[in-house]
Structure 1
Amino acid sequence: MNDTIKMMLNHRSIRKFKDDPLSQEDITTIIQAAQMASTSSFIQAYTIIGVTNKAVKSELAHLSGPQPYVEQNGHFFVFCADLYRHTIAGTMEKTAVTTSLESTEKFMVAVIDASLAAQNATIAAESMGYGICYIGGLRNDMEKVSQLLSLPDYVIPLFGLAVGIPDTQSDQKPRLPMNSIYYENTYPNDTHTIYTDLESYNDTIANYYNERTHGERQDRWTEQVSRMLNKPKRTDMKKVVQQKGFLRD
């Protein structure tokens, strides 16, 4: 097992960072690594916003939860699905592109491109000794975040990435066992097997929380996710996404 894989297998979210900013050289390296991620048809449908304005970071921290580590970190990146520059490309080439850009397919491409770039950025940052935490809470109010970052139509904020020197070392949550997420050739049609695997994983997670909280918490994984999914969240998202020019076809 090489050092890169060891580092990836040691990943955990960091939610408390030292008050040390990233150097411009490290920021540049992280962005360059992100840019080398795979991209569908070379479309490169994403933009990364580095937020350094303290007032804006404070507002993003509030909108996200509040989550103080959005404000207190070495550097905060916002990854956006971006098809705006492609509207300009169409204008430059006198080619109609709007129908394609507003399709579900290109929305998926932009989201996937941004996600691949972000994971490259994460691996680069962690290889440099930094910790990271993804911030999906930016989607609590995509419209407000768009206004704060002056995002034009065809650009939407997907998530943030807090990066910095860890001030504490978080526990690593056990993932689903491999046989629950990797199947060969076809998806299993044996519900009993999936049920049995989840029961086993429930025991693993309950033990994890029990040890971590000294017996104060013992909830199971299926209990946790079912509770979370019981009430839909961010139900205005489709409206905001469509207002920005995505998912109209």
Structure 2
Amino acid sequence: MNEVIETILNHRSIRKFEERQLSSDQIKLIVKSAQAASTSSFIQAYSIIGVKNPDTKRRLAELAGNQPYVAENGHFFVFCADLNRHDFIGKFENKSLNLSLESTEKFMVSLIDAALAAQNAVLAAESMGLGACYIGGLRNKLDEVSTLLKIPNHVIPLFGIAVGFPLQILDKKPRLPIEHIYHEEEYEQNIDQFEQQLMEYNNIISSYYSGRTNGKRNDTWTGQMAKMLGNPTRTYMKEFVQSKGFLKD
């Protein structure tokens, strides 16, 4: 096993950081690593907004559900799906690109490009001894996030990543068994096997939470998912996405 794989397998979300800012060189290296990710047809349909201003970070923390680590970190990155530059390209090249820019396909491309870039950024940060935590809570109030960050049309803030010097490192959260994720040749649909794997995983997760909280919490994974998914959130998303010029076809 090499160092890259060790870094990947050692990943865990970090939510407490030292009061120390990332250097300009560290930020630049993380962004360059993000840019090195694969991108569909060389479209590069994403942008990254770095936030240093403490007041802006505090406001983002509020909008994300009062998560303190959005404000208290070494640097905060906001990853955006971005077809704004491609809209400009249409004007620059005197060619109408609206049918492509408003298509479901290019919406998916922008999401995938941003996600690939973000994972490269996190891996780079962790390889430098830093910690990171993805922040999906920015999608709670995208109108206000967009106003705060002066985000134009054809750009959607997808998630943030808090990066910094770890102050607290918790145990790794156990993932689903590999058999539950990886299928060979076709999608495995053995329901009895599927249920047995879920039961075993529930026991693992319950033990993990119990040990982490000294017995105060013993959720199962299926119970946690059923509770979360039973209460739909961010139901405004389709309307917002379309208002930004995406997903109209």
For the aligned pair, the TM-score class normalised by the smaller chain equals over 0.9
* 2:189 partner SS: coil
Q: Deviations over 1:148-169 (max 9, x none)?
A: 1101000000000000000111
Q: Which residue of 2 aligns with 1:137?
A: 137
Moved more, 189-198 or 73-82: 189-198
Moved more, 189-198 or 27-36: 189-198
Q: How does 1:184-195 map to 2 (within 5 A)?
A: 184-195=184-195
Q: Which residue of 2 aligns with 1:37?
A: 37
Q: Which residue of 1 aligns with 2:168?
A: 168
Letter matched to residue 214 of structure 2: H
> Do structure 1's residue 12 and structure 2's residue 28 form an aligned pair?
no
2-structure distance, mates of 1:96, 1:237: 26
* 1:134 partner SS: strand
* 1:116 partner SS: helix
2-structure distance, mates of 1:28, 1:219: 40
2-structure distance, mates of 1:55, 1:218: 37
2-structure distance, mates of 1:8, 1:189: 29
Q: Which residue of 2 aligns with 1:182?
A: 182
CA RMSD of aligned residues (A): 0.7
Q: Which residue of 2 aligns with 1:49?
A: 49
2-structure distance, mates of 1:157, 1:14: 21
Q: Which residue of 2 aligns with 1:231?
A: 231
Q: Deviations over 1:198-235 (max 9, x none)?
A: 01100100111111111111110000001000010000
1-structure distance, mates of 2:6, 2:98: 44
Q: How does 1:193-232 map to 2 (within 5 A)?
A: 193-232=193-232
Number of aligned residue pairs: give it.
249
> Do structure 1's residue 155 and structure 2's residue 128 form an aligned pair?
no
> Do structure 1's residue 92 and structure 2's residue 86 form an aligned pair?
no
* 1:81 partner SS: strand
TM-score normalised by length of structure 1? 0.99
> Do structure 1's residue 242 and structure 2's residue 242 form an aligned pair?
yes
Q: CA deviation at 1:189?
A: 2.1
2-structure distance, mates of 1:137, 1:48: 17
Structure 1 unaligned segments of length 5 or more: list them.
Answer: none
Q: CA deviation at 1:192?
A: 1.4
Q: Which residue of 2 aligns with 1:75?
A: 75
Q: Percent of pairs identical after alignment?
A: 58
Q: Deviations over 1:4-47 (max 9, x none)?
A: 11111111000000011000001000000000000000000000
TM-score normalised by length of structure 2? 0.99
Q: Which residue of 2 aligns with 1:28?
A: 28
